[in-house]
Amino acid sequence: MTRQLSARLTKYAVALFVIFVSAATSGRDILRPVGGGVRVVRATPTTITVTTTQDELNGDTSSFEDLIDNPGGAGISLREAIIAANAMPPGPRLFIHFAIPDTDPGYETGSLIWRIQPGPSALPPLTRGNVSIDGTTQPGASLVSHPVILLDGTNVYEGDKGLNGLTITSSGNVLRGIALILFWDAGVLIEGAEASNNVVTGCVIGVLAPDGNPQPNYYGVDIRNGARNNLIGGFTAADRNIISGNDYAGVRIDGSTTMSNTVAGNWIGIDADGARARANAYYGIVVSGGAQRNVIGRGNVISGNSYGIMVMGASDNRIVGNIIGLAPDRTSLIGNREGGVFLVDGASRNVVGGETETERNIISGNGYGIFAGQYYVASPPITRWNHIKGNYIGVDASGIVPRGNVRQGIFLTKFAESNIIGGDDRRAGNVVAYNGFGGITIKGAANRISSNIIGAGADNTTPLGNQRHGALIIGDGNIVGPSNTFAFNQLSGLLIKGDHTFIHENTIHHNTRSGICVRGDGSTIMSNTVTLNQGMDVPWDDFDAQRDDCSLVGGIVLTGTLQTLIRSNTIRDNAVPGLIISGGERNRVSSNSITTNVASGIVLLNGANRGISPPTILAVDQTEVRGVACLSCRVEIFADPDGQGREFLGAVDTSGDDGTFSFALSSSVPATLQITATSTDVDGNTSAFAVGIGAPAPPSVYTLHLPLVVR
């Protein structure tokens, strides 16, 4: 019994000794039993520390262990550490840390930076995978807000993968807290089908910390040739990359097999204070070459560049939750000069925005807000099936403070077809206000605008306007509606120059000139509310009404149009006539509510609708309206307090050779109203309102009280 207890105590003592020694060696060593005891055996190290800024290669780079035991003369260089990491077999994560003394010749006292200048060859690619290079481990890094390890490409002019700062061709790597400047190609290159699930976080790429002066790479970050599932940035302030001042693009994502990469939480085109532009000379972000299923967002600030985001011939990408053209405070202007978002040269099935607040982009203070269609290619493939939804375009984050784009809020060229602006759900609607060349311009065909607020703030009340039209439709076969608001715009709410436009179920009010101005043929205007439009002059000298709008003003104006249908609209309280038709023919006006407009409900000018005359109402009684109109015409009957057409009562066709009609009233009409009518001939030409006749007073009703006879 005593012997068994002694053996157990010996085993416990050995176990405690193992725990103690293991803790003391911090995982660098392991314990192995030898005979009746143990001996300490060195474990393969997974962390190596760079100790010099010199770009030397004279240590033993067979492994981390060999390099630690046999470093070069100046210490361990970053080049040696990467080569040693690549030589290690697959396995646990490897860490490259930094502890370079402040006596090193690459240390810059004033800025607290250790400058590493590789050259003449670029640093080797990370080929092993599962390696972290972490500049925040350098002693002193926590004392400042900028990376203290700086890679400077001034001396690099040789490289198998290009003249890049850090190149990744494997998976699972992390770059953290590094500054990269002055590389001929990319600050960071992520390339190839094996380059997946890598993270670049907390880096400054293209500007010199801490002063923020541009020190450009060609690309800040270049992701290409099949790289996928990589993350640039992250979702905390510590993850943020500053990618600014580069010669071409802050971030490029390129290639048809390059997919599912995410760019999130970065500041692209501005300095580290978020207050000043530090432009990437062309693009903040460019997605090209058929790259697909990549996500730009959330939380990027992409401002101060020539172009904010350029999606060029790429499909199925998402742009969500970014600030594009404003500072990080989401109200100060730092615009992208040419525009915020570009979908061009065959870009398709991309989504800009979303139906939640976190997916909303704020696209303000730029040249264009969003531009889609042709840009670089003379005859490009059609840009189609893109969806622009839930964005604030021309306002700040509050949705009611004006921060207009200089040109249009949204501009679709003739090479943009079958795109959707807004959506069926009201949450998909965009706020498009205070933009200099108008809210929306569409030159392509078969696009749809629905559920947007165009000219008012996000509260649908604050009067902001766009500086020209709410929407200008030049292409054919576009759909406007349902559920758009066009309000407070400086010209007309809608100017339609294209043919076969379908405008339905919109609210159009308080526009400076007309609610809707139509110059194209074959359009349908149905179930809209057009009210309180002003018919005023435009407050700038070079305005040409014939060129820039309709020369006439009204609730709805048709100028020289053919075969337009205006049906079931409410047109009221406009400071001009409710409907003006000037020239053109076969324009049908049916079953609308037109009332309390200034001067008249319907006006025909310049031989419009073949000069069709309104009906003549001959008599009205409690049960019937009788009159005469054109032969084989349809007569619509209305009641209104002032000779327009507030209440549509019904319709009847004329009969016989004399054009007489008789319309039976289904119920009595109040005597305060007038009965009026329009005529529409067999070709679809509709007249103005007839001269109204007051509805007759209801017949007097007498009650006979018989005398009471008492017997």
Instruction: Kindly report the backbone phi and psi dihedral angles of residue 618, in degrees, each rounded to the nearest multiple of 5, phi listed first.
Output: -95, -35
In percent, the amount of the chain with pLDDT more than 70 equals 91
Residue 170 has pLDDT above 80, yes or no: yes
Strands (E), 102-185: 107-108, 113-116, 131-134, 149-152, 166-168, 174-176, 178-181
Supply the mean pLDDT for the chain.
92
- The pLDDT-based confidence of 711 (bands split at 50, 70, 90) is low
Is there a domain that residue 258 lies in?
Answer: no
- What digits encode the pLDDT tens for the residues 367-391? 999 999 998 888 899 999 999 999 9
Q: Which helix (H) or strand (E) holds 604?
A: strand 602-605
Q: Round to whole Å and give the CA distance between 445 and 501.
A: 9
- What digits encode the pLDDT tens for the residues 559-610? 999 999 999 999 999 999 999 999 999 999 999 999 999 999 999 999 999 9
Nearest to residue 408, comparing CAs of 344, 471, 476, 493? 471
Residue 16 has pLDDT above 50, yes or no: no
What per-residue string of b and e applies to 407-427 under the rule 16 or more CB within 10 Å gives b? Answer: bbbbbbbebbbbbbbbbeeeb
Please return the burial class of 154, using the count of CB atoms within 10 Å of its CB with bins 0-12, 13-18 and 19+.
Answer: middle
Is there a domain that residue 147 lies in?
Answer: no
For residues 706 and 448, the model is more confident at 448
Is there a domain that residue 412 lies in?
Answer: no
Residue 3 has pLDDT above 60, yes or no: no
Residue 9 has pLDDT above 80, yes or no: no
Are 223 and 190 a contacting pair, CB within 8 Å?
A: yes
- What digits encode the pLDDT tens for the residues 395-409? 999 999 999 999 999
pLDDT of 42 reads: 60
Q: Round to whole Å and give the CA distance between 40 and 34.
A: 10
Tokens of 1: 């019994």
pLDDT of 1 reads: 40
Is there a domain that residue 345 lies in?
Answer: no
Residue 266 has pLDDT above 70, yes or no: yes
- What digits encode the pLDDT tens for the residues 642-696? 999 999 999 999 998 999 999 999 887 888 899 999 999 999 999 999 999 998 8
- The pLDDT-based confidence of 708 (bands split at 50, 70, 90) is low
Q: Round to whole Å and give the CA distance between 300 and 241.
A: 10
pLDDT of 441 reads: 98
Is there a domain that residue 619 lies in?
Answer: yes
Is there a domain that residue 638 lies in?
Answer: yes
Task: Please enumerate in sequence order all residues whose Cβ is within 8 A of that of 342, keeping only pairs 6 or more positions apart, or say none.
Answer: 307, 308, 309, 310, 311, 312, 368, 370, 371, 372, 375
Is there a domain that residue 159 lies in?
Answer: no
Residue 538 has pLDDT above 90, yes or no: no
Phi-psi domain of 252 (left: phi exceeds 0; alpha: psi -120 through 50; beta: other): beta
Are 283 and 247 a contacting pair, CB within 8 Å?
A: no
- What digits encode the pLDDT tens for the residues 302-359? 999 999 999 999 999 999 999 999 999 999 999 999 999 999 999 999 999 999 999 9
- The pLDDT-based confidence of 627 (bands split at 50, 70, 90) is very high
In percent, the amount of the chain with pLDDT more than 90 equals 84
- What digits encode the pLDDT tens for the residues 445-482? 999 999 999 999 999 999 999 999 999 999 999 999 99
pLDDT of 28 reads: 43
Q: How many domains does the chain have?
A: 1
- The pLDDT-based confidence of 544 (bands split at 50, 70, 90) is confident
Average pLDDT of the residues in 164-192: 98
Tell me how long the chain is.
711
- The enclosing domain of 673 has a CATH number of 2.60.40.10
Are 555 and 593 a contacting pair, CB within 8 Å?
A: no
Residue 536 has pLDDT above 70, yes or no: yes
Average pLDDT of the residues in 429-439: 98
Q: Which helix (H) or strand (E) holds 5?
A: helix 2-24
Tokens of 180: 């990269």
Q: Round to whole Å and give the CA distance between 290 and 316.
A: 9
Q: Which helix (H) or strand (E) holds 431?
A: strand 431-432
Helices (H) and strands (E) in the chain, counts: 4, 65
Q: Round to whole Å and give the CA distance between 376 and 585.
A: 41
Q: Round to whole Å and give the CA distance between 469 and 471.
A: 5
Residue 174 has pLDDT above 90, yes or no: yes
Amino acid identity of residue 433, one-letter, is A
Nearest to residue 638, comparing CAs of 692, 559, 598? 692
Are 146 and 209 a contacting pair, CB within 8 Å?
A: yes
Q: Round to whole Å and give the CA distance between 52 and 45.
A: 20
Residue 5 has pLDDT above 70, yes or no: no
Is there a domain that residue 630 lies in?
Answer: yes
Its domain, for residue 646, covers: 614-694
pLDDT of 408 reads: 99
What's this model's pTM, rounded to 2 decimal places?
A: 0.92
pLDDT of 700 reads: 63
Strands (E), 357-452: 362-363, 368-373, 383-384, 387-389, 392-393, 410-412, 416-417, 420-422, 431-432, 440-442, 448-450
